[in-house]
Structure 1
Amino acid sequence: MEQKLFSKLIIEFIERNYPEFIETIKHQDDGSFDCDLKSDSGIFSIWIATYNSEITIGIEDPTGQNNIHTHILCYEIEDLKSCTTELSKYIENIKADNLILYKDKDGKYDWIESSEFKNQDGSKKFSWKN
């Protein structure tokens, strides 16, 4: 799918479903965009980008790094519904604290399902809300 069309369709989805991201949208020269939303706790952000005609969603950790992310491939217009459904799952799981940011005992940040965190000895978790 052509980059500008892809980005336009994803922006339309975000406008309808997650308007809180809209004010941070930054359009790039290649037709892609990125946007972010600071957590209620103020500790980290969710970020979304559409580089290379795929959706990338991730967390910017408290140090400003955005290495924690995943790619949602969306090659054809027919894939758009499943791609936006997957994007929604990530956003909703982060905001509901089902997918959390944590810092391990070595100081490295990552994300994990909150139900699995109890096995992370010596780590600190960060929630969306507090």
Structure 2
Amino acid sequence: MMEQIYLSEIIKEFLAENFPEFLSSLDFKDDGSFDCGLRNQADTFSIWLATYNSEITIGLEDPDGKTDIHTHLSCDDKEYLPETLDRLAKMINEIREDKLVLYKDQWGYHWTDDMEKKKQPNTIFFSWK
């Protein structure tokens, strides 16, 4: 497992080089982890990132302010970190390009890359733009 402070510094550098718009919201914790977020253009939801427990967590905060929609990207081995960072960049870009989207159905908020869901009745989709 990678040391928390080291991982957070790597992710901070990654964000500075690739997604500097996240930097203004960095909030460092006592254990060396941080979280940050970025609101969509309509100000209805946000992407959030965290480096807790020596892993990267990426998720969406829904319009109700809940952060249940997320996934963990493991950073157990330093040699796989470039692959993990590529996956993180891909997910951020997919959200911002509306390829990985937030939607609400009768069961609540979710995210999906399955655009067939748009054809379901009573489903509301949220655009990044």
Same structural fold, with TM-score higher than 0.5 when normalized by the shorter chain? yes
Aligned counterpart, 2:102: 101
Q: TM-score, normalised on structure 2?
A: 0.95
Q: Does 1:85 align with 2:86?
A: yes
Could you list the runs of 5+ residues in structure 1 that have no partner in the other structure? none
Q: 1:119: Cα distance to partner? A: 4.1
Inter-partner Cα distance in structure 2 for 1:114 and 1:11: 30
Q: 1:10: Cα distance to partner? A: 0.6
Q: What code does the residue aligned with 2:95 have?
A: I
Q: Does 1:22 align with 2:23?
A: yes
Aligned counterpart, 2:112: 112
RMSD: 1.0
8 A contact 1:25–1:34 mirrored in 2: yes
Stretches of 4+ moved more than 4 A in 1? none
Aligned counterpart, 1:126: 126
Q: 1:115: Cα distance to partner? A: 1.7
Summarize deviations over 1:33-80 as a string: whole Å, max 9, x none: 000000012110000000111100000000110000000001122111
Q: Percent identity?
A: 49
Summarize deviations over 1:80-125 as a string: whole Å, max 9, x none: 101100000110000000011111024x001011523234321111
Q: What code does the residue aligned with 2:3 have?
A: E
